[in-house]
Amino acid sequence: MVPHLVTALNGPINELEQRVLDSMPAIERWFRLEWMEHTPPIYTSVDIRNAGFKLAPVDTNLFPGGWNNLSQEMLPLAVQAAQAAIEKICPEAKNLLIIPENHTRNTFYLSNVAQLQRIFHMAGLNVRIGSINPEIKELTVIDLPGGDQVTLEPVLRSKHRVGLKDFDPCTILLNNDLSAGAPGILEDLHEQHLLPPLHAGWSVRRKTLHFQSYEEVSKRFGKLLGIDPWLINPMFNQCGDVNFAEGLGIEALRSNVDALLTKIKRKYKEYGINEKPFVVVKADNGTYGMGIMTVRDVADLDVLNRKTRNKMSVIKDGQVVSDVIIQEGVLTNERMNDAVAEPVVYMMDRYVVGGFYRVHAERGVDENLNAPGASFVPLAFADTPHLPQPGMKPGASVPNRFYMYGVIGRLAMLAASYELEATDPEAEVYD
């Protein structure tokens, strides 16, 4: 059963869908050539918004924490992709250590860790979970919803390796976004593969850099398909030196918001779109849906209430916000049972392995859905995104729509690999 998606069945998205389907061989070859030159992240999840006139990624996560939301039918794909990834990185790998986030009380998050453990176990590895949380001093078993359990063990450091008592891994899988910075225990590991690398953490990563890379990718892809890259790319600006708590830098933020709203209006006029443009202001290194606000008019910035200022000034792990990305807002046209929804695509290595809908009944079409009260519906991707149905009318076939979401997800993943190459502190420089 696939939930009924109420999406626009005419307009540019259908034209785009048709174009994507007609160009499928060229698209797949293009990706193949890209992966010969660039290394995909070990795993990626991408939040996509479908406005009916535009389809674009709005966030790319390199430490996805919702593997438990994928449908059971998709698990074999994830296992195969995990095998392919490991064969490439460390073919003789036997032991894998997963390092999760430090918050041990969030059982939904830990269900995601248990699912990752299951995927890599089925891929043929001994998998254990090592915590870098100082509170975990001995083997700790946590019961999860649904009868599952997860066992956390304290990570031990030797000279150039990390492991557990009586467990020496070849590869370490990070599922911790390092918002507070790279902990010393994970630095200078010369003999083990750490995936994703430390510079993928939010202490280094910036959304503006990611969307810069994505802009480059979308232009090249737009050229391949003969489409305006704007149809798949959210425009953005950056603004630094903002202090929401003290109300500093708001004038510069105002002029940047105004400039971007003007650009969006111009595009809307070009395409005859009657919607009201808006932008989303986010912490440049933000995560977990924190430090995000929707701005529909620059005047909104003059009347920020204390609650919004507080929300915008500090994000995960108490990090103070000073740099923001101002991103073109993309409406979501998708609904599930009358609630606003957005697709989230999950990838392992270079393969789409499924996804789900993030659904929020209390949010509007122009608001952030990654917020308390959201629910996740995996059923939508029960039909595989790999096998489009040629000859079906655009908008009529769920697999076709999902194939298109998978293409957009992979473009964002490719942008992430460009971004990681650009920020790699150990990159070899050739003159």
- Within this chain, do residues 128 and 267 fall inside the same structural domain, yes or no? no
- Residue with token string 């996560």: 61
Q: Pick the last residue of a domain from 162, 182, 200.
A: 200
Structure tokens at 396: 């009529």
How much is the pLDDT for 288?
Answer: 64
The residues near 50 (Cβ < 8 Å, ≥ 6 apart) are 7, 13, 332, 333, 334, 342, 343, 405
Interval 105-121 mean pLDDT: 95
Measured CA to CA, the distance from residue 354 to residue 402 in angstroms comes to 9
Between helix 24-37 and helix 12-22 the angle, nearest 10°, is: 70
- Within this chain, do residues 43 and 84 fall inside the same structural domain, yes or no? no
Amino acid at 59: D
How much is the pLDDT for 7?
Answer: 43
How much is the pLDDT for 429?
Answer: 63
Assess contact for 68 and 114: CB atoms under 8 A.
yes
- Within this chain, do residues 128 and 27 fall inside the same structural domain, yes or no? no
Inside any domain, residue 3: no
- Residue with token string 């010369």: 190
Inside any domain, residue 90: yes
Inside any domain, residue 231: yes
User: Could you report the per-residue pLDDT of 123-149, keeping only the tens digit for each?
Assistant: 999 999 999 999 999 999 999 998 899
How much is the pLDDT for 383?
Answer: 53
Interval 105-132 mean pLDDT: 96
How much is the pLDDT for 248?
Answer: 84
How much is the pLDDT for 153?
Answer: 97
Inside any domain, residue 2: no
- Within this chain, do residues 42 and 90 fall inside the same structural domain, yes or no? no
Band of pLDDT at residue 5, cut at 50, 70 and 90: very low
Q: Pick the last residue of a domain from 200, 230, 253.
A: 200
CA distances from 246 to 173, 196, 286 (A): 39, 36, 19
- Within this chain, do residues 260 and 184 fall inside the same structural domain, yes or no? no
Measured CA to CA, the distance from residue 293 to residue 283 in angstroms comes to 10
Inside any domain, residue 6: no
Inside any domain, residue 365: yes
What domain count does the chain have?
2
Inside any domain, residue 125: yes
Give the CATH number, domain containing residue 149. Answer: 3.40.50.11280
- Within this chain, do residues 77 and 151 fall inside the same structural domain, yes or no? yes
Alpha helices in 200-249 (DSSP H): 207-225
- Within this chain, do residues 294 and 380 fall inside the same structural domain, yes or no? yes
How much is the pLDDT for 377?
Answer: 77
Measured CA to CA, the distance from residue 3 to residue 79 in angstroms comes to 25
Measured CA to CA, the distance from residue 9 to residue 52 in angstroms comes to 8
What count of other Cβ atoms lies within 10 Å of the Cβ of residue 247? 11
Q: Is the pLDDT of residue 346 over 50?
A: yes
User: Could you report the per-residue pLDDT of 170-182, keeping only the tens digit for each?
Assistant: 999 999 999 888 8
- Within this chain, do residues 120 and 44 fall inside the same structural domain, yes or no? no
- Within this chain, do residues 318 and 374 fall inside the same structural domain, yes or no? yes
How much is the pLDDT for 8?
Answer: 38
How much is the pLDDT for 99?
Answer: 97
How much is the pLDDT for 320?
Answer: 78
Q: Is the pLDDT of residue 10 over 70?
A: no
User: What is the pLDDT of the chain when averaged over all its residues?
Assistant: 88
Q: Is the pLDDT of residue 227 over 90?
A: yes
Q: Pick the last residue of a domain from 147, 179, 200.
A: 200
Between helix 398-422 and helix 12-22 the angle, nearest 10°, is: 80
- Examine residue 196 and say whether the peptide bond preceding it is cis (omega within 30 degrees of 0): yes
Q: Is the pLDDT of residue 183 over 80?
A: yes
Q: Is the pLDDT of residue 380 over 60?
A: no
Q: Is the pLDDT of residue 386 over 70?
A: no
**Which of the pair, 60 or 336, is modelled with greater confidence?**
60
- Within this chain, do residues 29 and 113 fall inside the same structural domain, yes or no? no
CA distances from 117 to 175, 292, 305, 356 (A): 11, 31, 43, 20
Interval 184-196 mean pLDDT: 91
SS3 at position 14: helix
How much is the pLDDT for 387?
Answer: 64
How much is the pLDDT for 12?
Answer: 63
Which residues constitute the domain of residue 268? 12-65+206-422
- Within this chain, do residues 240 and 332 fall inside the same structural domain, yes or no? yes
How much is the pLDDT for 381?
Answer: 53
User: Could you report the per-residue pLDDT of 348-363, keeping only the tens digit for each?
Assistant: 999 999 888 898 888 8
How much is the pLDDT for 6?
Answer: 40
- Within this chain, do residues 50 and 108 fall inside the same structural domain, yes or no? no
Q: Is the pLDDT of residue 370 over 90?
A: no
How much is the pLDDT for 341?
Answer: 87
- Residue whose C-alpha is closest to residue 316's, from 175, 179, 177: 179
Structure tokens at 70: 């994928």
Inside any domain, residue 248: yes
Pairing of strands 236-239, 324-328: antiparallel
